[in-house]
Structure 1
């Protein structure tokens, strides 16, 4: 198979040839047709996360090995089942969304379809080759969700961007439809979050970003209010847009600055769900946590049950589309650099020549 891989962190992706894997046990060989380019790929490419005063957390310390074909938002065709696979109605040639956040496959979390909580992660595009390649391996048929007529470029984003925001939004619900929900970040995650909230019938969606262009895209997607994050008074402007301190904030950036203004904008009993991996650290006045009965919760991607649920919503026609830019697989490095330079509205999705 051919892959566009990180061979050295921070250096251009290289096209390499690897043996096409033979599916063993319950594995399923997938011929990749579409792969989303996610902001998390930038961290993997750079090889580290910023932990603020604690320094850097290197991906190699977590078991990531190079060369690596990244890409965890994958749509492809089933090419071959392993000898022990139970297809469950799937067949060779079917086009499927691949759930990438897989684990050991045997622990209670994995067997409960909550693989993203496994303590031995084997995520596609992170710990093993993913969608920046002509082929990849799904560990089991249960990690495959039939496309069912969806646009494959858009559907690829549901495997990360979609279920990540779906899972995070579920953590702040239920809320009255008119209760403002604040989303920090108007990239691919933010636009998918707006789409999910609209599909759930939510009426007040406040979006915060540093880019006026991305805020325009958020408005077009259905945000009711937007806030340009600039200066020291972002929290005040969020509260002005929301009509007061807010009950729910989903921080899709999750950096030092965003954590500070999110915390400051919460009302009594408010909840901040942290999703992004921008990096840094959060310093909070501890007495305010109990005095204001606040909740700060991390949310790590989503599970395969949530992917199935989200795909059903999309197949019903209730989930609005986000802007998609298609680029050929062999332009993976250029796509990654466009994302790094902040030149992407919505999502870039890499497509195979035969897609």
Structure 2
């Protein structure tokens, strides 16, 4: 099968041929029809995460194999199935849940496979959707998208799920209590739309790009802040005009994380989602005095993805902009370059020929 993979020690993708897997046991093979492009893949291509003064967290040290076929927002057509597979018809179209755990630890047994310490995520630890085929270990990870547009449905495996998982960590709140969303690219826009869909009226969108902010206002943001200077916290306070009960940070670098902590009201919550890197230094006494909650959020559970699809099918989540591209070497490379440069208002979704 054909894949667009990152070789070890390189950031340049290559077109590679691998044996097409034959499904065994409960495995299901799908022909990839859509593959969304996520900013996480820019870090996977680079081969590390920035840990500030601690240096770089190299993905090979975490067991990520190279050459790496990335891509974790996948819609495909079921092409073959192992002898133990039930309930999935050949030729059916399915969305893939990629955040797969070991299946044996406490987190997995509690239905929180995304928190598994030995995760086997598709597009990270296993080959993903920047290819013409993808092998999924069990049919429970395949979701029926019904009449949803497959371009939009593909984004729900990460963009939609990550936004929903983060929003769920701050709600319920009084509808007019200010919530700040920092970084309104594809995932942040989905968070704004999700907050609005769930009845929250006071949402402040923060971004460097006015185009992203305009889209965010159209999706339900009640106010917005363009990042132009060094006093992000002051700019947010001025725009919101009230203490902030929650901040969801889809950038999560030193500037945004520090600002998130500074604008929180007493008892507030900051949810850190982005992987841009760096470190956060805060006065320990203020953690106690302000009774602040600082929480990391990584994608979401399989049950939460079902909830996201249900909201979409009910028409309760506005569709974010989807930018079409070709699932080929040039399409994957150009899309990752665009994301790394910033300013993509929406989600890029690649389609196979």
| TM-score exceeds 0.5 | yes
Query: Secondary structure of the equivalent of 1:287?
Result: helix
1:246 to 227, 244, 247: 244
Q: State the match for 1:44 in structure 2.
A: 44
Q: Which moved more, 1:124-133 or 1:23-32?
A: 23-32
1:153 to 151, 154, 166: 151
User: 1:120 & 1:75 partners in 2: Cα distance?
Assistant: 25
Judge conservation of contact 1:9–1:45 (CA < 8 Å) in 2.
no
Q: Which moved more, 1:207-216 or 1:57-66?
A: 207-216
Q: State the match for 2:80 in structure 1.
A: 80
1:143 to 141, 144, 169: 141
User: 2:232 & 2:156 partners in 1: Cα distance?
Assistant: 30
User: 1:277 & 1:343 partners in 2: Cα distance?
Assistant: 16
Q: Which moved more, 1:93-102 or 1:340-349?
A: 340-349
Q: Deviations over 1:21-55 (max 9, x none)?
A: 11112111111100110000000000000000000
User: 2:139 & 2:49 partners in 1: Cα distance?
Assistant: 32
5+ residue gaps, structure 2, are none
| Deviation (angstroms), 1:106 | 3.0
Q: State the match for 1:334 in structure 2.
A: 334
Judge conservation of contact 1:272–1:297 (CA < 8 Å) in 2.
yes
Q: State the match for 2:235 in structure 1.
A: 237
Judge conservation of contact 1:165–1:193 (CA < 8 Å) in 2.
yes
Q: Deviations over 1:190-237 (max 9, x none)?
A: 111011112211111101112222212212222111111232321122
| Deviation (angstroms), 1:113 | 2.7
Q: State the match for 2:57 in structure 1.
A: 57
| Deviation (angstroms), 1:9 | 4.6
Q: Deviations over 1:272-311 (max 9, x none)?
A: 0000000000000111111111110011110100000110
Q: State the match for 1:109 in structure 2.
A: 107
User: 1:200 & 1:30 partners in 2: Cα distance?
Assistant: 33
Change in Cα spacing, 1:343 to 1:230, as seen in structure 2 (3 Å) is closer
Q: State the match for 1:206 in structure 2.
A: 204
User: 1:105 & 1:51 partners in 2: Cα distance?
Assistant: 29
Q: State the match for 1:12 in structure 2.
A: 12
Judge conservation of contact 2:245–2:264 (CA < 8 Å) in 1.
yes
User: 1:86 & 1:113 partners in 2: Cα distance?
Assistant: 21
Change in Cα spacing, 1:308 to 1:293, as seen in structure 2 (3 Å) is same
Q: State the match for 2:131 in structure 1.
A: 133
Alignment length, in residue pairs? 351
Q: State the match for 1:187 in structure 2.
A: 185
Q: State the match for 1:344 in structure 2.
A: 344
User: 1:150 & 1:284 partners in 2: Cα distance?
Assistant: 44
State TM-score, norm by structure 1: 0.96
| Deviation (angstroms), 1:10 | 4.7
| Deviation (angstroms), 1:105 | 2.3
2:314 to 295, 313, 316: 316
User: 1:250 & 1:343 partners in 2: Cα distance?
Assistant: 19
User: 1:306 & 1:193 partners in 2: Cα distance?
Assistant: 14
Q: Is residue 2:124 matched to residue 1:123?
A: no
Q: Which moved more, 1:247-256 or 1:18-27?
A: 18-27
Q: Deviations over 1:59-86 (max 9, x none)?
A: 0000011111100011111111211223
Judge conservation of contact 2:2–2:15 (CA < 8 Å) in 1.
yes
Q: State the match for 2:70 in structure 1.
A: 70
Q: State the match for 2:214 in structure 1.
A: 216
Aligned CA RMSD, in angstroms, stands at 1.2
Q: State the match for 1:301 in structure 2.
A: 299
User: 2:274 & 2:186 partners in 1: Cα distance?
Assistant: 12
5+ residue gaps, structure 1, are none
State TM-score, norm by structure 2: 0.97
2:267 to 262, 266, 269: 269
User: 1:134 & 1:312 partners in 2: Cα distance?
Assistant: 28
